[in-house]
Amino acid sequence: MSDSDGKKTLGLGGGRGGRPGNVKQSFSHGRTKNVVVETKRKRVVVPKPGTPKGSATAAPAGDPTRRPAGISDAEMERRMKALQAAKAREAEDAAKRKADEEARAADRQRRREEAEAKERAEKERVEALKAKAEEDERKKREAEIAARRAAEPAPAPAADDRKTSGRKEPAREAPRRQEEQRPSKGRGDDGGRRGGKLTLNQALSGGDGGRQRSMAAMKRKQERARQKAMGGSVEREKVVRDVQVPEAILVSELANRMAERVPDVVKSLMQMGMMVNQNQSIDQDTAELIVEEFGHKIVRVSDADVEQAIDQVEDKDEDLKDRAPVITIMGHVDHGKTSLLDAIRNARVVAGEAGGITQHIGAYQVEQDGKKLTFLDTPGHAAFTSMRARGAQVTDIVVLVVAADDAVMPQTIEAINHAKAAEVPMIVAINKIDLPAADPTKVRTDLLQHEVIVEQMSGEVQDVEVSAQSGQGLDTLLESIALQAEILELKANPDRAASGAVIEAQLDVGRGPVATVLVQNGTLKQGDIFVVGEQWGKVRALVNDQGDRVKEAGPSVPVEVLGLNGTPEAGDVLNVVKTEAEAREIADYRIQAAKDKRAAAGAATTLEQLMQKAKEDENVEELPILVKADVQGSAEAIVQAMEKIGNDEVRVRVLHSGVGAITETDIGLAEASGAPVMGFNVRANASARNTANQKGVEIRYYSVIYDLVDDVRDAASGLLSAEIREKFIGYAEIREVFKVSGVGKVAGCLVTEGVARRSAGVRLLRDNVVIHEGTLKTLKRFKDEVAEVQSGQECGMAFENYDDIRPADVIEIFEREEVERTLD
Ligand code: GDP
Ligand code: MG
């Protein structure tokens, strides 16, 4: 655990409250470190709703008649449940969105009402002022008249007065801006107003000498001001625009989209009390007020809405046509994956090509009884899971290669687990059957232990004996694949905008970025504009698996695509869109979203949150985890214990369990399934650690099975206590090993991290596997016995009662903390 950012603690932070526990260790250099779990964050149990998925890859689990082989009733039932739960959740999400939208609408309404109320109050105030002025005037006149009447009786000019006030009426509609400016100007005029004849115009404009100005002039002035505020002439105002406003928008951009002048928009904002300049962004609600103020119509778009340019129409049944199955070959190293792929290709590629070098594009198609089969030429589990993690499920069938002269090996198990996690049916190819040492029966029995029951064992998984070398059994294998494909009833609609998945991509010196794309739905054509992951482009050329230029590629056809503006990643989904602007917008949005995601990774999901979430979902199905242990026995024990944890709400599902250090492949699988990785007496290797950090996969380390089981159980039942069991305080690397008479073997070490403490517990790690745990017999700095050695310093260490130490071994120094268990 060399990275010091493992912010998770072994103790599980606040259970129900979701408050993650956080135990800090302090090192001498003022550094601090938190313990036991290296990485935190991410992963949700449910499939991401937004994840684009080719409809072609609809989970076969939904339909029992299309059940993949090798899946038991119980499994099936569980999947159906999971599916239902996911659906329910979707509905819930939709309801929530609706509620949110309503709340927002209510909020908007409230704000508008507030604004209106304010306006009304202001108006009333002005009116009162005006009334008062008139009243004053009236009184004065009355007094005058009375005085005059006293002298010589004359007709009352009251009618005249009324007329004047009648003409004043329209001025009340003066825009808010003027109303707001009025008080200050008006106040300065008070004396004058009282003193002389005060008209409404005077009151409104506060103008001196307003008495001399004609009414019409004043009105014109007001009208001009109003038009200016509204952003132009009356004619221009008639153009009511639908203004698309995202969740946040720059003032200048808003003005641009309304086709209004920026200063006018800024002014308008200021009148609303928002002091912003054109380069600042405002939120959607504020923008709405402005848009309405200018007489346009707002169209609210959420950022993610840009993705909607992607054609998401569901295909009608009658539009669906059969498509070729897509097959991935997996298996342990050296069991013959590459040989098998080559053998199939050479046996089936059109005459004339055979033996020749066909262009390698990472996938190829062969024909079996007039039907096409698409093989992905990218064996390797990492590719498989990383694609799945990126939302592309391209594989319909997994061919599991097991060498008949060998047995089920770690990567075989991994492949099985990958296929199971992806819910893809499997066909077992027992390879190297030509070898004298071949023992296919052993392979079949071995597979039983991993819940792969082949047909020969009265199971449902097809098994075929083949030899990639002699070509024996290849036909049967292809027939089996075709049969499996038939059961799956794979269909796609060739008559729509294409979508597909990137199988591999690279920057070609001569041709620019090139991506091999497996079309999954629709038909990709030359000239199509597309977005692929964070890149976009326009199809300049399509090259098929034979190296020929083609004009178009339909479902299940792999093609090389030229014309990208950047290099996408394997697993990225390609979608054809209508315009370049759309493509660019989506790509930009995704780049931003990816950035945000990375930024938000710190606040990500840990095991507790995962469990918590699972608990909150009422129809909870399963909590996926990965288990890596030091020996097979402990792995099995853990898996068994995990299986027992389940209750009505939460079931723990071990996606994969294995022996040895936690590797990148483990992280890949964990990421794809949103599972944490539980290491029992093993550690993650450096690359796995990095990947886990990047991908936000949580790794937890344990040295007591009970602790591991307990944590998961507690989490599952929502009884997590903020308990810390132990913390790593340092790491030391063994540089040399000396024999000291009387003491035994002494390790010459460098403390690489934290601190080595005499009193602390120690573990010896070899290849990231814990091989010994105990205490120190001695901790020496030069000749002296010391209590502590700091990071960066060299020291001598010897274990109590343990001698098998070697250079390059790592010593992990940890302390236990006694924390009371809370029983709440
Ligand atoms: P991969 O690591 O799974 O891709 O395995 P390869 O295809 O590279 O094969 C590993 C080794 O097994 C190579 O030396 C192949 O020649 C050999 N091999 C593969 N298939 C057969 C087979 O059917 N029979 C025999 N005798 N050897 C095979
Ligand atoms: Mg190979």
pLDDT of 473 higher than 90: yes
* Residue 577 CA from chain centroid, whole number: 22
Looking at the CA of residue 435, tell me the nearest atom of ligand 1.
26
Q: What is the pLDDT of residues 573-596, one digit of tens each?
A: 999 999 888 888 888 888 877 776
Distance 451 CA to ligand 2 centre (A): 25
333 lines ligand 1 (CB under 6 A): yes
13 lines ligand 1 (CB under 6 A): no
**Looking at residue 588, what is its pLDDT?**
86
Cα–Cα dist 297/448, whole Å: 65
Q: What is the pLDDT of residues 214-250, one digit of tens each?
A: 565 666 677 667 766 665 544 444 578 888 887 778 8
Phi, psi of 161 (to 5 degrees): -60, -45
The average pLDDT across 727-740 equals 89
The average pLDDT across 183-197 equals 42
3-state DSSP call for residue 211? coil
823 pLDDT tier (thresholds 50, 70, 90)? very low
**Which ligand has the minimum distance to the alpha carbon of residue 337?**
1
**Looking at residue 6, what is its pLDDT?**
39
Cα–Cα dist 454/461, whole Å: 4
Inter-residue contact 429 to 399 (CB < 8 Å): yes
769 pLDDT tier (thresholds 50, 70, 90)? confident
pLDDT of 166 higher than 50: no
605 pLDDT tier (thresholds 50, 70, 90)? very low
DSSP state of 10: S
pLDDT of 786 higher than 50: yes
pLDDT of 113 higher than 60: yes
How far is residue 762 from each of residues 3, 680, 752, 807, measured CA to CA in Å?
A: 18, 16, 15, 16
Inter-residue contact 521 to 499 (CB < 8 Å): yes
pLDDT of 15 higher than 80: no
522/101: higher pLDDT: 522
The average pLDDT across 74-96 equals 63
**Looking at residue 436, what is its pLDDT?**
95
Q: Which of 233, 261, 127, 635 minimizes the C-alpha distance to 417?
A: 635
Q: Which of 158, 140, 145 minimizes the C-alpha distance to 196?
A: 140
Q: Answer positive or negative: Cα dihedral of 402, 405, 409, 411.
A: negative
Cα–Cα dist 775/758, whole Å: 8
Distance 414 CA to ligand 1 centre (A): 19
How far is residue 333 from each of residues 338, 401, 438, 791, measured CA to CA in Å?
A: 10, 10, 17, 40
Inter-residue contact 698 to 606 (CB < 8 Å): yes
Distance 381 CA to ligand 2 centre (A): 12
What tokens does 136 get?
């004053």
Percentage of the residues of the chain whose pLDDT score is greater than 70: 64
**Looking at residue 208, what is its pLDDT?**
43
Q: Among 328, 334, 381, 472, which residue has the most ligand 1 atoms within 8 Å of its CB, making it the best to mutate? A: 334
**Looking at residue 354, what is its pLDDT?**
41
759/483: higher pLDDT: 483
**Which ligand has the minimum distance to the alpha carbon of residue 468?**
1
Q: Which of 648, 650, 658 minimizes the C-alpha distance to 681?
A: 658
Cα–Cα dist 637/461, whole Å: 27
pLDDT of 172 higher than 90: no
Q: Report pTM.
A: 0.48
The average pLDDT across 173-192 equals 41
Q: Which of 7, 47, 35 minimizes the C-alpha distance to 606?
A: 7
pLDDT of 194 higher than 60: no
**Looking at residue 70, what is its pLDDT?**
47
Least confident residue range of 243-247, 328-332, 544-548, 801-805: 243-247
Residues 6+ apart with CB under 8 A from 194: 136
Cα–Cα dist 376/504, whole Å: 10
Cα–Cα dist 517/503, whole Å: 6
**Looking at residue 321, what is its pLDDT?**
93
Single-letter code of the amino acid located at 618: E
Q: Which of 763, 692, 771 minimizes the C-alpha distance to 732?
A: 763
15/465: higher pLDDT: 465
**Which range has highest mean pLDDT (12-16, 106-110, 623-627, 752-756)?**
752-756
Beta bridge partners of 813: 730, 762
3-state DSSP call for residue 762? strand
**Looking at residue 46, what is its pLDDT?**
39
338 lines ligand 1 (CB under 6 A): yes
What tokens does 137 get?
């005037």
Least confident residue range of 392-406, 438-452, 717-731: 717-731
- Tell me which residue has tokens 């990137």: 502
Closest CA to ligand 1's atom 10: 334
Least confident residue range of 87-91, 324-328, 499-503, 524-528: 87-91
Inter-residue contact 483 to 425 (CB < 8 Å): no
Parallel/antiparallel/unpaired status of strands 549-550 and 524-525: unpaired
What tokens does 370 get?
């007039």
696 lines ligand 1 (CB under 6 A): no
454 pLDDT tier (thresholds 50, 70, 90)? very high
What tokens does 80 get?
């159906």
**Looking at residue 670, what is its pLDDT?**
86
pLDDT of 746 higher than 60: yes
381 lines ligand 1 (CB under 6 A): no
Q: Which of 213, 480, 389 minimizes the C-alpha distance to 204?
A: 213
Cα–Cα dist 782/746, whole Å: 12
Cα–Cα dist 467/446, whole Å: 20
Cα–Cα dist 617/623, whole Å: 12
pLDDT of 717 higher than 80: no
Q: Among 328, 334, 337, 339, which residue has the most ligand 1 atoms within 8 Å of its CB, making it the best to mutate? A: 339
239 lines ligand 1 (CB under 6 A): no
**Looking at residue 562, what is its pLDDT?**
95
Inter-residue contact 290 to 268 (CB < 8 Å): yes
Q: Which of 652, 644, 817, 819 minimizes the C-alpha distance to 721?
A: 819
**Looking at residue 78, what is its pLDDT?**
59
**Which ligand has the minimum distance to the alpha carbon of residue 438?**
1
Cα–Cα dist 146/140, whole Å: 10
* Residue 282 CA from chain centroid, whole number: 25
Cα–Cα dist 499/554, whole Å: 10
Distance 334 CA to ligand 2 centre (A): 7
What tokens does 784 get?
């002296």
339 lines ligand 1 (CB under 6 A): yes
Residue 823: Cβ-neighbour burial (10 angstroms; 0-12, 13-18, 19+): exposed
Inter-residue contact 347 to 612 (CB < 8 Å): no
Distance 567 CA to ligand 2 centre (A): 25
Cα–Cα dist 806/787, whole Å: 23
Cα–Cα dist 406/388, whole Å: 29
How far is residue 465 from each of residues 338, 482, 497, measured CA to CA in Å?
A: 16, 16, 41
Distance 285 CA to ligand 1 centre (A): 64
Parallel/antiparallel/unpaired status of strands 326-331 and 371-376: parallel
E strand intervals along 582-740: 622-629, 651-659, 677-680, 699-702, 726-740
Q: Answer positive or negative: Cα dihedral of 558, 560, 562, 567.
A: positive
Parallel/antiparallel/unpaired status of strands 810-816 and 761-766: antiparallel
Q: Average pLDDT, whole number, for the chain?
A: 74
384/543: higher pLDDT: 543
Q: Which of 655, 628, 661, 638 minimizes the C-alpha distance to 711?
A: 638
Least confident residue range of 379-383, 425-429, 444-448: 379-383
Alpha helices in 423-550 (DSSP H): 440-448, 474-488
The average pLDDT across 795-805 equals 90
Inter-residue contact 763 to 814 (CB < 8 Å): yes
Least confident residue range of 112-121, 436-445, 499-508, 611-620: 611-620
Residues 6+ apart with CB under 8 A from 474: 343, 344, 347, 466
Distance 477 CA to ligand 1 centre (A): 17
3-state DSSP call for residue 709? helix
488 pLDDT tier (thresholds 50, 70, 90)? very high
pLDDT of 259 higher than 90: no
Looking at the CA of residue 431, tell me the nearest atom of ligand 1.
23
How far is residue 73 from each of residues 67, 69, 573, 655, measured CA to CA in Å?
A: 10, 11, 33, 18
* Residue 477 CA from chain centroid, whole number: 38
**Looking at residue 817, what is its pLDDT?**
63
434 pLDDT tier (thresholds 50, 70, 90)? very high
Single-letter code of the amino acid located at 724: I
Inter-residue contact 734 to 775 (CB < 8 Å): no
**Looking at residue 238, what is its pLDDT?**
55
pLDDT of 791 higher than 80: yes
**Looking at residue 360, what is its pLDDT?**
62
Least confident residue range of 291-300, 354-363, 401-410, 738-747: 354-363
Inter-residue contact 50 to 636 (CB < 8 Å): no
pLDDT of 285 higher than 50: yes
Q: What is the pLDDT of residues 21-80, one digit of tens each?
A: 444 445 555 454 444 443 333 333 433 344 343 333 333 333 444 444 444 565 556 556
617/694: higher pLDDT: 694
Inter-residue contact 721 to 714 (CB < 8 Å): yes
List, edge to edge, every strand of the sheet that includes 651-659.
Answer: 651-659, 622-629, 677-680, 699-702
